Amino acid sequence: MAVVQWIINNVLTQAAILISLIAMLGLMLQGKKPGAVIGGTLKTLLGFEVLSAGSSIIQQSLAYFAVIFQHGFNTKGIVPSIEAINGQAMNKLGLGNDIALTLLGIFIVNIIIARFTKWKYVFLTGQALLWMATMTVIGGHFAGLKGFPLILMGSIVGGIFAIAMPALAQPIVRKITGNDAIALGHFCTIGYLVEAGVAWLVRDRKVDQHVANIKERKDSWEHVNLPKSMSFLQDNSLSIMVVMIPLYIITAAFAGPYWSIKAAGGAAGSVNYIIYAFLQAIEFTVGVYVMLSGVRLMLGEIVPAFRGIAMKIVPNSIPALDCPVLFPYSPNAVIIGFITTTIGTVIGMFLSPLAGLAVILPGMTTNFFAGGTAGIFGNAVGGKRGAIIGGIAHGLFITLLPALLVGALSSVGFVNATATDVDTIVAALLYLWVLAPAFHAVG
């Protein structure tokens, strides 16, 4: 027994080792050669540690930013970043194991539902599943769950989302791609439906009565020539920097040298405080870049393994894939979606304190990927006007939801961060508003 106890204490509680074992299992089930199994397992281990390193870089930068924002504007400003939330949950709160096992559990629940119901969606966007596992574990942690019940609940909630979101989006995805070969697997789908709903209400009712495919639309952004210079925003690191640099510099200017130097905690040395803020903005981007490299290494082995297994178990499965798969179908709508969502998030930033909520700063990664995809939905359903008004509504919506989470997250120990992807937030709110009160009533 002592040996088993030692293994449980020293091996299975190490999230990095646990996730590597999950990858190893997947590689073995696929019948890979021993060399490929060892290589893939080690890569997953490396990926997890790189992810942790990236997350501590993000946290240092955000901790500095929190102080200068507080003193610059006398209010709390929160940078929404699912990456930061995931890093803090894994490293600071010690939930890494639960997240790794919930990720595996969501895979399993997804396959079971796809196998036995008419919804044949297999969710293949690894990082989105990781964010969903993170948020359901945080929600369960907040509701006071521990161990197996926490993981089981998270797997069921996450697994249902992994089927329901592609299913809800499919009628519009079919219009975009022209068939049912692929589905959309991205946990910002509720936001896309919000945009599509608003776009549909404000659409031009004189044209495009029955459009089966977006190519047939007369009223569409795809017939407009947009400047090519906007395309650099597709590079995630660049789009973060062009927003974070001015944000940090302006905030440091408002905070003044005294608080800026204090926030740096002696790390700035003799560097001018504005230059230091500039470097910290780059540092934030470095953290995101490193963290995403870790996620890439970590999931590069697990996702293909899951796909191989799912395809064997679920005949006629439809792969639910990451949102940029849709971008080539409607590239102009992506740019319009990004711009309008950003406008919406900026308006939301000013409105949220008026509603008694925290100031949520625009999160650029989400604005581009979720905003761009939402733009495709808005344009597909409501044409030019639909995409613009729907996009601003989408921006407001993805600012409001993270704001609702702030209180709950800070009560369980998160520093100056809130989540982004709205479906994962809805899952967490489900825990806070529905499941936690229910547990308390029963237990």
Partner 1 sequence: MAKIPKVFFICGNGLGSSLACQMEADDVFQAAGIEVNSGHDSISAAPSLDADVIVSASNFESQFANTQIDPKTKIVYLDNIVDKNEIKEKVVPIIKEIAES
Residues that bind partner 1 (CB under 8 A): 124-128, 177, 181-182, 186, 228, 231-232, 234-238, 289, 292-293, 295-296, 299-300, 303-304, 307, 319, 321-325, 327-329, 331, 334, 365, 368-369
Q: Cβ atoms within 10 A of the Cβ of 70, count?
A: 17
Three-state DSSP class for residue 152: helix
Q: Cβ atoms within 10 A of the Cβ of 103, count?
A: 27
Q: Which is nearer to partner 1, 321 or 396 (CB)?
A: 321
CA distance 2 to 184: 47
Nearest distance in Å: CB 327, partner 1? 5
Nearest distance in Å: CB 319, partner 1? 7
Nearest distance in Å: CB 111, partner 1? 17
H/E/C letters for each residue in 224-279? Answer: CCCCHHHHHHHCHHHHHHHHHHHHHHHHHHHHHHHHHHHHHCCCCCCCCHHHHHHH
- Look-up: residue for tokens 């796809």? 114
Q: Are 167 and 120 in contact (CB under 8 A)?
A: no
Nearest distance in Å: CB 308, partner 1? 9
Q: Which is nearer to partner 1, 66 or 292 (CB)?
A: 292
Nearest distance in Å: CB 233, partner 1? 9
Q: Which is nearer to partner 1, 175 or 203 (CB)?
A: 175
Q: Which is nearer to partner 1, 135 or 252 (CB)?
A: 135
- Residue 251 to residues 61, 240, 256, 273, Cα–Cα distance (Å): 13, 16, 9, 11
Two tokens, residue 214: 């977006």
Q: Are 122 and 174 in contact (CB under 8 A)?
A: no
- Residue 45 to residues 50, 54, 302, 309, 371, Cα–Cα distance (Å): 9, 14, 12, 21, 33
Q: Which is nearer to partner 1, 64 or 329 (CB)?
A: 329
Q: Which is nearer to partner 1, 268 or 297 (CB)?
A: 297
Nearest distance in Å: CB 229, partner 1? 9
Nearest distance in Å: CB 301, partner 1? 11
Q: Which is nearer to partner 1, 307 or 385 (CB)?
A: 307
- The length of the chain in residues reads 443
